Each structure stands twice: as C-alpha cells, then as structure tokens.
Amino acid sequence: MKCPRCQAENREGARFCRECGATFGAVCSSCGAKVEAGSKFCDGCGAPLAATPVPGPAPSRFASPESYTPKHLAEKILTSKSALEGERKQVTVLFADLKGSMELLADRDPEEARKLLDPVLERMMEAVHHYEGTVNQVMGDGIMALFGAPLAHEDHAVRACYAALRMQESVRRYAEEVRRTVGVPMHIRVGVNSGDVVVRSIGNDLHMDYTAVGQTTHLAARMEQAAMPSSILITADALRLAEGYIQVKPLGPIPVKGLTGPLEAYEVTGVGRVRTRLQAAAARGLTRFVGRDAELDQDQLRKALEQAGAGHGQVVALVGEPGVGKSRLVWEFTHAHRTREWLILESGSVSYGKATSYLPVIDLLKAYFKIQARDDHRDIREKVTGKLLTLDEALKPALPTFLALLDVPVDDPEWQALDPIQRRQWTLDAVKRLLLRESQVQPLLLVFEDLHWIDTETQVLLDRLVESLPTARLLLLVNYRPEYQHGWGGKTYYSQVRLDTLPPESARELLQPPGGRPWSSTVQAALDRAHRGEPVLSGGERADPDRHEGPGRPAGRLSPRDRARGDSGAGHGPGGPGRPD
C-alpha cells in the first residue's frame, strides 16, 4: 500500500509509514489505541469506532493537487512538465502537521473538528503557494510540499524555509483566535530537508510521481516529527543552501530512526540578513575582484556618475546572464572611493516577490528610515516622522503613504478617504518626491537589482522616476538578466553595460592562490581535471570559490557605508518574509 502522505510503498497492513512515519490508522476514543483505517471496532478494547471523532482523511477539496493548486501555478506546471519528467532534480521537501490533532479533537464531532482543522491546512497551503512550492499531498492534519519541482526554482531551500516561517506565523495568529473562542490550543510543526528526487511523471491533475534519492523525503518527515510544537527544524543539507537567508539555532545531533548515526538539526528562528546570493557570498568573504576594470574605471559608469553628480541624472543598466558578475560589479562600485560622498540606497526584486506589490520599495524605505526588524509601530512612526520632517516640512502630506507602505496603521482621514487608485497615485508620488528631495542634499546613488523579477507597481515607480531624472543629482543603477525589457532605451541619459563571461586570463587570475604561492598538488590536480572538462568533485570535496579568501578586500568585513538592503535586518514584515499582503 502507498503512504497517502509521502507516497512511499509500505507493506499491506502497516500501521505507520516506513518512509515518513505517518500513522495509517485512527485513534480509539475510549482506550486511545491506534486502530487500522476502516475498522468498525477497536481491536484493543472492543469499543465501537463509528463514532470515533477523528479528523480522518482530508475532504475532497484537498483530494488532489488539481483542486487546491492556484490556477497560475497549475498553468506553469503543465507548460513545463515535459521538460522535467525523467529528470533528477535537487529539491527541498517540507512536511507540516498539526501536533497531536487527534487527541486534541477527540471529543468533538468530526464535522466540527474539520471546521477547526481546515483553516490550518489552508494556511499551510497558502504559505507554500506564496513561495511557488507545490503541495503534493494533504493528510487530515498536515501537508507534504515540494520546492524546486515540478516548478524549478534555483532558491528552493530558501523558499521552503520562508514558507515554513510564513505558515508558522499565520497559523499562530489563527491558533490565538481558536484558543480565545474555543479554548483549544493548536501548534504546528514543520520539517525541511534538501536532496535529490527523480521526477517520474506529472499527471494532468498536477500530481507528481517521483522517487526520492536516498533519504530526501524521509529526513524531512523526521525533522518534522522531531520539531517542538510551533517550531521549524531543518537538516544541514537544507541549511547549506539557505545559509544567511535565515536565522537558525543549532540543536546539535539528534537521533533519527532509520539512520545509524545521529543527524545535525537546526531550528529556523527567523529571516536572515541576506537577500541575494552576492550578500551571502560577501558574508563568507569575497574572492578577489578580477577582469572588470574596463567597466568600472573608464566608460559608462564613471561618466554616468560624473554627469549625475553634476545634476544631470542618469540610468545605467548592467545586463548579463545569471552569475556573470552583475551584483559583484555593483558591490565594487558602491564600495569605491568615487561614490564616497554619495548617499547610496540599495534595493532589488526577489524571485518570489513578483506577487507582492512594492516589496523592493518597502525594503528601500526600511533602509532609508533605518527601521529594524524589532521596531514596533510606534518606533516606525517616530523614525519616519522624524526623518521626513527634518528633510523637508513640505513632505509632511506624504507621511501617511510611507506609514501605510510600512504596515503601520494610518488614522489620517484624508488618506482613509482615498480609493485604491488614488492611493497608488499618492504612493508613487510620495516615493518619487522623497528621493528627488534627498538628492538635493547630496548626490543619490539608487541601486535596483534583479529587475527581471520586478513587480508591476515598482516598475511603474521606476518608470516615473526615470522621467524625472534629467534635472536630478541621481544615478539609477539597475541590473537584470537579458530576458527583461524596459522602455528607457530611447532616453539620452540611459546607457547599458553588457557583461559577458570573464575572459580565460581573468578566470585564471581568479584561481591564483593568495600571496603568489603555488597551489597544493591536490588543488592543482583538481584544476587540471576541471580544465580538461572532467568532474572535479568526489566524496566530501565541495567547491565554493567564495570561501577562498583573496588578498583583496578583507573577508566578510562590510564597511560602515555598506548599506546593503537587509543590513537593517528589517527586510521583511512581521508575517515572515515577503510582507503579508
């Protein structure tokens, strides 16, 4: 028989899944014994089970992924499915369940129980879908979700952890309400692991059949079972992929059924400071910067900076394939002596942020107003009011707009009276005015990264800002991958820097060991293998160029001017990452 939760094959009559540990039976309400699904009487005490109020399987609206997967995700899955079938993919698996739901609801009518349980499932699923994961299985009181397949995402582990935080937060809010009204405590546990699966097929009902390679699914389920109520446990493999993007507390090695030795587990406690891959690399220490002097020193960037500094605002776009070095060039530029006198404000779109309006703008404002993650509404109100009025009293009417963007309740009657279209207009206008006014105090370097993931509202804001640039002391530096397009190409104050892969001599320079010493024979052999196109890694070896400290910038030390987004630690709203909409 198949486990309805993780799809693993189990022997007929098994009471627990040997892969994920799910219980196949129900619980007898009189003696508490586990009974097989479908039994009429408890085989422990003989009590009739018809009235056993267990939550049972999820109702039909949760029966197949087709019935609960949002339409836009369903369409994406169906268009990309043929490319995935037969593929071995690295994914992140998430298990979530309601702790002790059966005991919790033991003396409740099943229908009443479902009424309490379904909102929990809905919140879990909403969080998964928010980060474009897919719920592969729904049980009476929990779900199993996948990130990275069938929808491919390079940052699947980060998404899974953010989804876990989001569901803990939204279920916590719901549980508070249930505790107040019904008096029942509710807590969910979440477990996350990353590993490989082979995708066998994706049905038209969106159900994905796959084979886990090694312990991929099993360990995620085990993490969930080992988690304390209301917590999130992840494995070292998941952490390695999400490092910096999340905050964790190491729990040390914990015993895991089915494994000979214990396994390191980590509790996810919040969102990390890092929002981009380069920030994660910078925190570990960057490699020495090579081969881009032409772009940095001579041409467009330097000229654009000079012109913008003289009051003729400019837009410069860095365009290139993933990993080619766009963010690194921005990092070098914003840390160069030339931009020392500039106010640098940095923001960017994130891969899971398209659905959330203004996410990069909110990040930008948080950095500008120096808002920290721990700040409450009062702190935020004080900081925004103080800074805005110090800059210019004339900006006072824009105050409600900023507060609303930052999720602070606004009691201003004029703001309340606006309809959504007017609010949008005010918002665009307020942010633009703030930036332009600030650029009168000192030149402003505004960085917007990863425009290929931009949301519509932020795009409109940038378009408006670009229109106002010619008379502003403002350099708008953006970067994106080649698939993105904008309408600024015809502006005289627009220029584009196309980044190509580094030439072989720079790549060789990048591979020089620090201090001019030769590489050890092992490293040299690996480099030779790579040069011949042979596999470099074997056994426990891992390649991570950014762990190697070059002689250039001191590893991991960010200068005081390093106002990288997320530096304030306030990148996300209280509902977890990606601001609750």
Ligand X SMILES: Nc1ncnc2c1ncn2[C@@H]1O[C@H](COP(=O)(O)OP(=O)(O)OP(=O)(O)O)[C@@H](O)[C@H]1O
In 3-state terms, what secondary structure has residue 160? helix
> Residue 454 and residue 360: Cα distance in Å, rounded?
8
Q: Which is nearer to ligand X, 136 or 347 (CB)?
A: 347
| Residue 424 found at the interface with ligand X (CB under 6 A) | no
Q: Which is nearer to Mg ion, 327 or 334 (CB)?
A: 327
Stretch that binds ligand X, among 115-123, 196-204, 326-334, 456-464 (CB under 6 A): 326-334
Stretch that binds ligand X, among 84-92, 179-187, 244-252, 321-329 (CB under 6 A): 321-329
Q: Which residue is nearest to ligand X (CB)?
A: 325
311 binds, among ligand X, Mg ion, none (CB under 5 to 8 A by kind): none
Give residue for tokens 């159900």: 207
Q: Which is nearer to Mg ion, 327 or 357 (CB)?
A: 327
Q: Which is nearer to ligand X, 255 or 322 (CB)?
A: 322
> Residue 483 and residue 453: Cα distance in Å, rounded?
10
Site pattern 93..112 for ligand X (x: CB under 6 A)? --------------------
User: How far, CA to CA in Å, does 308 sit from each of 195, 295, 347?
Assistant: 48, 17, 19
Who's near 513: CB < 8 A, 6+ residues apart? 519, 523
| Residue 136 found at the interface with Mg ion (CB under 5 A) | no
Burial class (CB in 10 A: 0-12, 13-18, 19+), 100: middle
Number of residues that bind Mg ion (CB under 5 A): 2
User: How far, CA to CA in Å, does 533 sit from each of 375, 508, 525, 528?
Assistant: 52, 15, 12, 9
391 binds, among Mg ion, ligand X, none (CB under 5 to 8 A by kind): none
| Residue 292 found at the interface with ligand X (CB under 6 A) | yes
Q: Which residue is nearest to Mg ion (CB)?
A: 327
Who's near 159: CB < 8 A, 6+ residues apart? 92, 131, 132, 133, 147, 153, 351, 352
Q: Which is nearer to Mg ion, 52 or 327 (CB)?
A: 327
Q: In the bound complex, what is the minimum distance in angstroms from residue 259's beta carbon to ligand X? A: 33
Q: Which is nearer to ligand X, 33 or 510 (CB)?
A: 510
> Residue 306 and residue 489: Cα distance in Å, rounded?
20
Q: Which is nearer to ligand X, 271 or 478 (CB)?
A: 478
Who's near 204: CB < 8 A, 6+ residues apart? 66, 78
Stretch that binds ligand X, among 174-182, 196-204, 230-238, 282-290 (CB under 6 A): 282-290
Closest CA to 481 of 317, 277, 319: 319
Name residues contacting ligand X, limited to 14-33 (CB under 6 A).
none
Task: Select from 5, 326, 565, 579 the one that contacts ligand X (CB under 6 A).
Answer: 326
In 3-state terms, what secondary structure has residue 304? helix
Q: In the bound complex, what is the minimum distance in angstroms from residue 535's beta carbon to Mg ion? A: 27
> Residue 313 and residue 300: Cα distance in Å, rounded?
13
- Encoded amino acid at 437, one letter: R
Task: Select from 32, 57, 262, 322 the one that contacts ligand X (CB under 6 A).
Answer: 322
* Residue-wise burial string across 373-405, b where 16 or more C-beta atoms lie within 10 A, e elsewhere: bebeeeebbebbeebbeeeeeebeebbbbbbbb
Q: Which is nearer to Mg ion, 99 or 326 (CB)?
A: 326
Q: Which is nearer to ligand X, 140 or 550 (CB)?
A: 550
Name residues contacting ligand X, limited to 451-510 (CB under 6 A).
481, 502, 510
333 binds, among Mg ion, ligand X, none (CB under 5 to 8 A by kind): none
Give residue for tokens 């929002």: 275
Q: In the bound complex, what is the minimum distance in angstroms from residue 490's beta carbon to ligand X? A: 25
Stretch that binds ligand X, among 17-25, 89-97, 318-326, 526-534 (CB under 6 A): 318-326
272 binds, among ligand X, Mg ion, none (CB under 5 to 8 A by kind): none
Count CA within 13 A, CB hemisphere, residue 147: 32
| Residue 312 found at the interface with ligand X (CB under 6 A) | no
Name residues contacting ligand X, limited to 510-549 (CB under 6 A).
510, 546
> Residue 256 and residue 152: Cα distance in Å, rounded?
29
DSSP 369-428: TT--TT--HHHHHHHHHHHHHHH-GGGGGGHHHHHHHTT-----HHHHT--HHHHHHHHH
Q: In the bound complex, what is the minimum distance in angstroms from residue 280's beta carbon to ligand X? A: 9
| Residue 328 found at the interface with ligand X (CB under 6 A) | yes
Q: In the bound complex, what is the minimum distance in angstroms from residue 123's beta carbon to Mg ion? A: 32
Q: In the bound complex, what is the minimum distance in angstroms from residue 288's beta carbon to ligand X? A: 6
Q: Which is nearer to ligand X, 258 or 545 (CB)?
A: 545
Who's near 214: CB < 8 A, 6+ residues apart? 195, 196
233 binds, among ligand X, Mg ion, none (CB under 5 to 8 A by kind): none
Closest CA to 253 of 238, 236, 270, 277: 236
Other Cβ atoms closer than 10 A to 105: 23
Q: Which is nearer to ligand X, 95 or 453 (CB)?
A: 453
Q: What would the two tokens of residue 525 be?
A: 């052999």
Stretch that binds ligand X, among 276-284, 308-316, 404-412, 514-522 (CB under 6 A): 276-284
Task: Select from 123, 277, 548, 572 the one that contacts ligand X (CB under 6 A).
Answer: 277
Give residue for tokens 């082979």: 198
In this structure, what is the dihedral angle of CA atoms 374, 451, 240, 324, given to the nearest 10 degrees? -140
In 3-state terms, what secondary structure has residue 517? coil
266 binds, among ligand X, Mg ion, none (CB under 5 to 8 A by kind): none
Number of residues that bind ligand X (CB under 6 A): 22
Q: Which is nearer to Mg ion, 309 or 320 (CB)?
A: 320
Task: Select from 84, 164, 219, 290 the one that contacts ligand X (CB under 6 A).
Answer: 290
Stretch that binds ligand X, among 67-75, 212-220, 324-332, 375-383 (CB under 6 A): 324-332
Name residues contacting Mg ion, limited to 320-339 (CB under 5 A).
326-327
Binding site for ligand X (CB under 6 A): 277-278, 281, 286-287, 289-292, 320, 322-328, 450, 481, 502, 510, 546
Binding site for Mg ion (CB under 5 A): 326-327
